[in-house]
Amino acid sequence: MKNVAILGATGLVGETVIKILEQRDFPVQELFLFASGRSEGETRVFKDREIRVTNDHNDFLDTVDIVFGCLDAPLTREIVPVFKDKAIVIDNSNAFRMDPDVPLIVPEVNPEKVKEHSGVIANPNCSTIQMLVALYPLYKKSRIKKIFAATYQSVSGAGREALNELQLEFEYLGTEQAIEKFEDRVFLHPIGNNVIPQIGGFDENGYTSEEMKMVHETRKIFNDPDILVTATCVRIPIQCSHSEAVSIEFEEPLSPEEALILLKDAPGVKVFQDPEKYPMPFHTSGRDDVYVGRIRRDFIFENGLAMWIVADNIRKGAALNAVQIAELLLT
């Protein structure tokens, strides 16, 4: 049994971690919940018990064995170092992902890396996780040389306030009240009835931080610094689940039929084999698996395949992946 803490317990990811710990019967002896001062004194239910949320992590600093970090990067950089010498922190932010001393883990891809931690393990970006769960079984058969990805990402990836903004924008869409309602918006542009081809800030090459996460994290998780990745990440007006159109070039030919066979029994993957049937966010929200469909030859890449990948970004893209990492620590 382990004493467990969740930092950011009242956010979308933190609340989902609580649910998944219970659903998977993780051996929790005592659960501690931390959040900002706005949530101080609130309660959350775990195994029929109400647990009070605290704003003072010193309440449990010397007590916990495993810490789930579900905070934004600035606060993460401040708090996580306090815990790393006393517990194992599984962090969902981007604060430590590219630190060479911090393993970046997708359990279906590189579970052996869990042994290399020095107190902190990083949870990858949501879009990277679902893409690599789908691609790794193919990578093992024939090394991937190049990846092109276009993502269609739900607003839940930007947090609860973004969900509220989407709901209000649909409610006030096309009215003069919309201008008054959204002076302090989450997104730079309206998201209701719109798509925004920007997630994160831009770098000097015109790529956003979200797009570059997919580049750098793929190389680190696959332990392949030579793999070429390019991405365009787009926010779309749905509540949950990210979708990705992905094209891949392999070193050796791999047919769609071979890919289907490899993915059919791959851990964490569900395959739609009929090309006229395909996964959609409707199928995946609230589910644990990564869904793959529309597997076909790519006309641009030599030895190329194209496919469609969909997954719940809050579950597999964040909370579930973190809990799976914690389960690896128990083995």
Whole-number Å distance between alpha carbons of 26 and 20: 8
Count of beta carbons in the 10 Å neighbourhood of residue 301: 17
Strands 43-46 and 28-34: unpaired
Placement of tokens 């934004």 in the chain: 72
Whole-number Å distance between alpha carbons of 212 and 138: 22
Placement of tokens 């914690």 in the chain: 326
Cβ(315)–Cβ(286) under 8 Å? yes
Whole-number Å distance between alpha carbons of 32 and 59: 9
Edge-to-edge strand order for the sheet containing 304-311?
Answer: 228-235, 144-153, 242-250, 304-311, 290-297, 269-271
Which amino acid would we find at residue 154?
S
H helices of the chain, in order, are: 12-23, 73-83, 126-141, 160-172, 177-181, 209-222, 256-264, 281-284, 320-330
Cα-based distances in Å from 140 to 137, 146, 247, 324: 5, 15, 17, 21
DSSP output for 289-300: SEEEEEEEE-SS
Of 70, 233, 240, 242, catalytic: 242
Cβ(54)–Cβ(40) under 8 Å? yes
86 alpha-carbon distance from chain centroid = 26
Of 70, 126, 233, 240, catalytic: 126
Catalytic annotation on 240? no
Catalytic annotation on 126? yes
Whole-number Å distance between alpha carbons of 172 and 185: 14
Active site residues: 126, 242
